[in-house]
Amino acid sequence: MAGWTTHNGKAVALPRANVDTDQVIPARFMSASRAEGYGGYLFADLRDGDPDFPLDRHPDASVLVAGPNFGCGSSREAAVYALVDAGIRVVVAESFADIFAGNAVNNGLLPAAIPDAGAILDALGDGTASARVDLDGGTLTIDGKTYAFDLPKIWREKLVNGWDDIDLTRAHADAIAAYRKTRAKTASWAWPDGAS
């Protein structure tokens, strides 16, 4: 996965609170393989029959601004695949659900938590605005106004470097092996009994 430091794109508003991952991608689409692509399933039920759905009015948007607690509910990473495959690089909201935010970062999607996201939603209305995101500075500039977002250091590093955790962790193989040995000695009950 390629890392990134800045992004310039078009922002659009999805003025809904508590957008759960069942809304982002309904369960019936989740058996597809990653290679088949998930972009076509994004918000499938919300946009069906709604000709005014924001992403249909502005299909080239790459910054999605939504209400608080975005991504709550199911841990399905397919919700992130659907956003990424549809060209979204940044989701802006007052707050994010924990599992969604972690999944997003693992796929190069920035969950930008901004306390003033409600004001950005109001300013956007039905329209769009040009947006610039700077991961190093931790800022979103939208229509000339700049907002700071709080991003854990580890998440910034991962997004910027496009880090793959598995490679990083395998570099700690010795520490893991040593831990495993100690745990097997001090908490042998932690291994499942062979009975079945």
Instruction: Catalog residues that contact other proteins under the rule CB under 8 A.
Output: 15-18, 20, 22-23, 26-28, 30-31, 33-34, 45-46, 67-69, 72-78, 80, 95-99, 102-103, 106-107, 118, 152-154, 157, 165-166, 169-170, 172, 175-176, 179-180, 183, 187-193, 195-196
Q: State the nearest-atom distance from the C-beta of 123 to other proteins, in Å.
A: 15
Q: How far, rounded to the nearest angstrom, does the alpha carbon of residue 134 sit from its chain's CA centroid?
A: 16
**What is the spatial distance between Cα 145 and Cα 5, in angstroms, rounded to a whole number?**
19
Which of 108/141 has CB closer to other proteins? 108
Share of the chain residues as helix, strand and coil, in percent rounded to the nearest 5:
40, 20, 40
Q: State the nearest-atom distance from the C-beta of 46 to other proteins, in Å.
A: 8
Q: Are 64 and 91 in contact (CB under 8 A)?
A: yes
Q: State the nearest-atom distance from the C-beta of 43 to other proteins, in Å.
A: 11
Which of 50/60 has CB closer to other proteins? 50
DSSP-assigned beta bridge partners for residue 146:
141
Which of 148/175 has CB closer to other proteins? 175
Q: State the nearest-atom distance from the C-beta of 93 to other proteins, in Å.
A: 10
DSSP state of 96: B
Sign, Cα dihedral of 96, 146, 88, 13 = positive
Which of 56/98 has CB closer to other proteins? 98
Helix, strand, or coil (residue 189):
helix
